[in-house]
A and B are shown apart, each in its own frame.
Chain A
Amino acid sequence: MSDTHAQTVAFVRETQIPPAPPPTMETGAIKWVRENLFSGWANTLLTLVSIYFIYQLATFVLPWVLNGVWNTSSLSECRDVLQGVTGGCFSVLTDRWNQLLFGFQYPSEFYWRPSLAFVLLFLAAAPVLFFDLPRKLLIFTGLYPFIAYWLIWGGTILAPILALLGFVVGYFVFQRFVKESFAMGFFGAIVAAFLTWWLGGYVVDAVASEDTLLTAVPSRDMGGFMLNMILGTVCVSLSLPFGILLALGRQSDMPIIKWICVVFIEFIRGVPLITLLFVANVVLAYFLPPGTTFDLILRVIIMITMFASAYIAEVIRGGLAALPKGQYEAADSLGLDYPQAMRLIILPQALKISIPGIVNVAVGLFKDTTLVSVISMFDLVGMIRGPILASTDWNGVYWELFSFAALLFFIVCYGISQYSQWLERRLATDHR
């Protein structure tokens, strides 16, 4: 058998050919480049054009960043160092670093206070954002607003304690009456909380001593990125519950509640945010009784929160409308009352659908906080446009400052966006 072909065929291979490596054109980076970048004459052309543009951009940006000057104290000094070579004067960032972050009026010896509040923010936000964490951490989240307020504003510790007390009293009243009727518990809690604050206000005014553990810092001294963070965090976290209430109110069968919500949402959505801010800043001063002091940051927070709640309400209404009617009927058939049905069945699903929209509003809102610079508050952009660009030292530095502002905002907004994508994947229990 073995020599069957011995005379007819010159050579018979008797072993298997060892596997050869694939042709170099068909493997690894080369294959990827060929398939993705040079797969045809049109794509080749586009690739070359893109490389040219990237090259141009890099030759422009890289020397500017790499040659950057970081340790001069004025623009003219920086230009002397550069001697006409391309390079950024990043020393404006080091020179005015604290001003960019905290504003120019916040006492420098207290910078640790907002910094600590910022660090604690992550601790407080973690259990809300990542629900795998132990639920006991939520206690700290509940206390955080009061701790942060006390850290940033300082003053008597009794004020935040009183504010907390109001919420606690409200909670107990709610627990006491909610069994009889939800509305009774809800409004009873509000009345009780306000009563506590009102009575406590007198006590605190009487008791509070002048020398406090943390020196009080007036609102007018807040500034820089800290102000953006305060406004962004407070307004986003407040506007979410208000938005949910408004969305539910708009769907309510009770005509007065429904119309109040509709009018509020449509009015606020129909007015530019900047108008509301001007109202908060200048017009309110005419309406308030003489001698009234009403914190400017508080006014701005109220206005931005109103604005954001209206938008979030519409986003959530979209989520509610997207739920099949069967879900509502299922809740009814289980014998759940309205709050239970909403809390246990409708809202968890509606909110999940609304996540991209809510995040969209949150990101937009955070960037909108820079609008306060037009009502002479010194947020990050206000600091740049006002004091820093107007100083004799740094007049004429634009790219470095605004790039820095863009970078800070990008980090935060990209973080929010990444979190929301993780959250969507995590909650993906849907019908796909």
Chain B
Amino acid sequence: MKKTVFYGALAAATIAGGVASAATLDDVKARGTLNCGVTTGLIGFAAPDSNGNWEGFDVAVCRAVAAAVLGDANAVEFIPTTGKTRFTALASGEIDMLARNTTWTFSRDVDLKFEFVGINYYDGQGFIVPRELGVTSAKELDGATVCVQTGTTTELNLADFFRINNISYEPVPIETNAEGQQQYLAGSCDAYTTDASGLAATRAAFENPGDHIILPEIISKEPLGPLVRHGDNEWGDIVRWTLNALIAAEEYGVTSANIDELSQGTDNPEINRLLGSAGTLGEMLGLDAEWAQRALKVGGNYGEIFERNIGENTPIGLARGLNAQWTEGGLLYAPPFR
């Protein structure tokens, strides 16, 4: 009863916070928008521009899924989440999927009851040091003060690394990446450690990036990927195969430039099945035949999205590294579309 009162008198428009229901796909279609959880802002991965449009590497995944399911890459309600609120937002059904550079770990997958549908970025923890320190390897950091974000896996990895190598360090606990950047520049720590992608972005923002080097050691595995709730495998499949379609398209050479031509039909049966000119893959997902075509038309294939948001021509300037296709020595390996 009171609910209606607040409806009528106070609460005007709100975001539907429906509790986890089995058929997320139906909910999304009925609502007409995809509720996608992203970060409150991480350079290159998700941030609104000066016009308020979300862009970034994680955002591209949300848009691709929205295009595949709803046919409109802009039919996404981006719901910003912090490291503390992201899992409750997903579990309570406030968001349909979470694409928030979240590390795939055992306990998050099993204990928190989420389903990681794949990996869109292979990250790892690294160190940045001032060039004048004269250090070329993380193993030479004996006795160094290291800025590290508290309460993260980063902190634990750091302790492990120094223990294994039997050298000492002094941690300087910080709260956010922005604070870490400032502390490091102010000289309160000799080295700053966080995910390598974050280090690259941090370094790119410095006034004199050349004065700082990122050490070659990567001391942890941080596979980042989108995730959905347990209990709705059909929806999980849609997100998983949309991501796979982006990755596979790069492998097969499908780009935003040639997709119209290739979707007319090609000699390669796998491309035909992917783009819907042959087979019934879309139908099996509960979508139409052109789902992957629409997802790819938003921002191109994985490689194009990577280059545009975090690649070497952007200020962040990340090399493909582990995130190259398996055919080029990386780890990206989409299962066959068959």
Which of B10, B88, B176, B201 contacts A385, CB < 8 Å?
B176
- B14 is an interface residue with CB less than 8 A from chain A: yes
- A226 is an interface residue with CB less than 8 A from chain B: no
In the complex the two chains form, is A395's CB within 8 Å of B13's CB? Answer: no
- A387 is an interface residue with CB less than 8 A from chain B: yes
The interface-forming segment of A197-205, A327-335, A349-357 is A197-205
In the complex the two chains form, is A298's CB within 8 Å of B6's CB? Answer: yes
Which of B8, B15, B85 contacts A376, CB < 8 Å?
B85
In the complex the two chains form, is A396's CB within 8 Å of B206's CB? Answer: yes
- B7 is an interface residue with CB less than 8 A from chain A: yes
A389 and B82 alpha carbons, distance in the complex (Å): 15
- B188 is an interface residue with CB less than 8 A from chain A: no
User: Separation in Å of the B11 CB from the closest CB of chain A?
Assistant: 4
- B338 is an interface residue with CB less than 8 A from chain A: no
Q: Contact residue range for chain A?
A: 35 or more
A374 and B81 alpha carbons, distance in the complex (Å): 9
Interface residues of A in 192-220 (CB under 8 A from B): 194, 197-198, 200-202, 204-205, 216-220
A residues less than 8 Å from B46 (CB atoms): 390
- B94 is an interface residue with CB less than 8 A from chain A: yes
In the complex the two chains form, is B9's CB within 8 Å of A293's CB? Answer: no
A interface: dominant SS = helix
The interface-forming segment of B34-42, B250-258, B323-331 is B34-42
In the complex the two chains form, is B206's CB within 8 Å of A155's CB? Answer: no
In the complex the two chains form, is B40's CB within 8 Å of A162's CB? Answer: no
In the complex the two chains form, is A390's CB within 8 Å of B315's CB? Answer: no
User: Separation in Å of the B18 CB from the closest CB of chain A?
Assistant: 5
A-B contact count (CB 8 A): 169
Interface residues of B in 193-245 (CB under 8 A from A): 201-202, 204-207
In the complex the two chains form, is A291's CB within 8 Å of B18's CB? Answer: yes
**Also in contact, A376 and B81, with CB within 8 A (given A166-B9, A205-B7):** yes
A residues less than 8 Å from B164 (CB atoms): none
- B47 is an interface residue with CB less than 8 A from chain A: yes
The interface-forming segment of A243-251, A281-289, A304-312 is A281-289
B interface: dominant SS = loop
Residue with the greatest number of chain A CB neighbours at <10 A, chosen from B50, B182, B205: B50
B residues less than 8 Å from A283 (CB atoms): 88
**Also in contact, A200 and B8, with CB within 8 A (given A291-B19, A292-B3, A385-B41):** yes
- A405 is an interface residue with CB less than 8 A from chain B: no
In the complex the two chains form, is B82's CB within 8 Å of A292's CB? Answer: no
In the complex the two chains form, is A159's CB within 8 Å of B12's CB? Answer: yes
A374 and B84 alpha carbons, distance in the complex (Å): 8
A205 and B15 alpha carbons, distance in the complex (Å): 17
Mask for A6-47, Cβ within 8 A of B = 1, else 0?
A: 000000000000000000000000000000000000000000
User: Separation in Å of the A70 CB from the closest CB of chain B?
Assistant: 15
Closest to A194 in B: B5
- B43 is an interface residue with CB less than 8 A from chain A: yes
**Also in contact, A197 and B8, with CB within 8 A (given A95-B50, A153-B13, A218-B15):** yes
In the complex the two chains form, is B8's CB within 8 Å of A291's CB? Answer: no
Mask for B29-56, Cβ within 8 A of A = 1, else 0?
A: 0000000000111111011111110000
User: Separation in Å of the A29 CB from the closest CB of chain B?
Assistant: 41
Which of B10, B16, B178, B182 contacts A291, CB < 8 Å?
B16
Interface residues of B in 61-91 (CB under 8 A from A): 79-82, 84-85, 88-89
- A290 is an interface residue with CB less than 8 A from chain B: yes
A residues less than 8 Å from B207 (CB atoms): 79, 396
A residues less than 8 Å from B11 (CB atoms): 219, 293-295, 298
In the complex the two chains form, is B14's CB within 8 Å of A386's CB? Answer: no
Which of B9, B14, B42, B316 contacts A162, CB < 8 Å?
B9
- B4 is an interface residue with CB less than 8 A from chain A: yes
Interface residues of A in 354-409 (CB under 8 A from B): 374-376, 378, 382, 385-393, 395-396, 398
In the complex the two chains form, is B44's CB within 8 Å of A392's CB? Answer: yes
Chain A residues packing against B (C-beta within 8 Å) = 75-76, 79, 95-96, 99, 104-105, 108, 153-155, 159, 162-163, 166, 194, 197-198, 200-202, 204-205, 216-220, 278, 281-283, 285-286, 288, 290-296, 298, 374-376, 378, 382, 385-393, 395-396, 398
- Please give 7 more A-B residue pairs, beta carbons under 8 A apart, in addition to A194-B2, A283-B88, A298-B11: A197-B9, A292-B3, A293-B16, A378-B80, A385-B41, A386-B80, A387-B47
- What are some 7 contacts across the A-B interface (CB < 8 A)? A76-B315, A166-B9, A292-B17, A294-B14, A387-B40, A390-B41, A392-B44
